[in-house]
A = this chain, B = another copy of it.
Amino acid sequence: MAKTGYNTGGKNAVLDFFRSHRDRQFTADDVINALEEKCRATGEKLPGKSSVYRIISKFEEMGALRCFFDSETSKRLYQYAGEHCDDHFHLKCSECGQVVHLECKIGDQLLRHISSDHGFSVSAGKSILLGECEKCRKKRENT
């Protein structure tokens, strides 16, 4: 990964946290709470709130984290941006938050079409397709 400035415990702790929960999304507060718990257990120093916000922003800027917005709660959600996540679209269930990586040919075809016919260079990694997953749909229909 690219250099991020000085190497500090706070940055490592935050990035470790996101790296070990790659397929979920967290608010800044979630991260703060998780670190608090971890630090209570290990005795490490707990990074303060403003530092966590700063660290998250820096990682987002660098592309290590991806930012979403939870309209229900008005909070930003962050997720570790894996190595090839800018290549493909992501489906997100508005209900349960599950994210599915759409690594299919047709996604690439759509990107090429958009580029050639509409002159847009779409960032697939930042483009979330919102919908409802099968599980949530069935749950909804059975009630």
Which residues of A are at the interface with B, using a C-beta cutoff of 8 A? Answer: 67, 69, 71, 76, 91, 93-94, 100, 102, 104, 106-107, 109-110, 113-114, 117-124, 126-134, 137
Closest 9 CB pairs of A and B: A119-B134, A122-B131, A69-B69, A127-B129, A126-B130, A122-B129, A120-B131, A91-B120, A106-B113
**In the complex the two chains form, is B122's CB within 8 Å of A91's CB?**
yes
Give Cα distance in the complex from A76 to B137, angstroms.
27
Chain copies in the assembly?
2
Q: Which of B109, B121, B128, B137 contacts A106 (CB 8 A)?
A: B109
Q: Which of B67, B120, B130 contacts A127 (CB 8 A)?
A: B130
Give Cα distance in the complex from A91 to B119, angstroms.
10
Nearest Cβ in chain B — how far from A124, in angstroms? 8
Which B residues lie within 8 Å of A71 (CB)? 67, 69, 76
Nearest Cβ in chain B — how far from A96, in angstroms? 12
Given contacts A100-B118, A104-B117, A114-B129, 10 further A-B contacts (CB under 8 A): A69-B69, A102-B118, A110-B110, A119-B133, A119-B134, A120-B132, A123-B131, A126-B130, A127-B131, A128-B128
